[in-house]
Amino acid sequence: MKVLLIKDVQNLGKAGQIKEVADGYGRNFLIRRGLAVVATEGVVKDTRLRLESEARQHAEATMTASKLAERLERTTLTFQRRAGEKNRLYGSVTSADIAEELQKLIGQPFDKRKIMLEEPLRELGTHRVAIKLMPEVTAQVTIVVEREE
């Protein structure tokens, strides 16, 4: 029996693949649990079209993220904070602060969870912060923290 996998099945294959399996295994396990469907011509064609559409959308999203990454690479964000004598900030610059400034810069909402800041910036100076726009697209933004006058 030929089945089209709807979800990844360990030791069998990934979603979207067509596999030849024993009739009982296909009917009683894969199809009943919603892991696969019988691979008819219509189902295969619909799945192929859906996968092609998803690939196209992913490529467009990656291209958009790459353009944004190029723009962010050239960006320098400046924050003014109160600091003590040894250049330690009384407060800090957090990923939420950076996201808020990026939101003003690009004109659309920006998720603070995309900013790869291990801990808040607590010292004056220039810092490079990674921003993960997509799993394969990352940008580095320059953050300058100056003393507030």
Token reading at 99: 């996201």
CATH superfamily of 2-61: Ribosomal protein L9, N-terminal domain (3.40.5.10)
Residue range 17-36, pLDDT digits in tens: 899 999 999 999 999 999 99
User: From CA 88, how far away is CA 46, in angstroms rounded?
Assistant: 59
Q: Provide the CATH number for the domain formed by 65-147 in this structure.
A: 3.10.430.100
CATH 3.40.5.10 residue ranges of the chain are 2-61
Contact 88, 122 (CB under 8 A): yes
CATH 3.10.430.100 placement within the chain: 65-147
Q: Is there a contact between 15 and 5 (Cβ–Cβ < 8 Å)?
A: yes
Angle between helices 95-106 and 41-73 (to 10 degrees): 100
Tokens of 148: 């507030």
Q: Which of 41-55, 58-72, 93-107 has the least mean pLDDT?
A: 41-55
Identity at 54, one-letter amino acid code: E
- Residue 40 and residue 145: Cα distance in Å, rounded? 61
Nearest to 144 by CA among 75, 96, 70: 75
**Banded pLDDT at 144 (limits 50, 70, 90):** very high
In angstroms, the CA 122 to CA 89 distance is 5
Q: pLDDT at position 124, please? A: 95
What is d(CA 67, CA 51) in angstroms, rounded to the nearest whole number? 24
Which residues fall within 8 angstroms of residue 92, CB to CB, at 6 or more apart? Answer: 81, 120, 121, 122
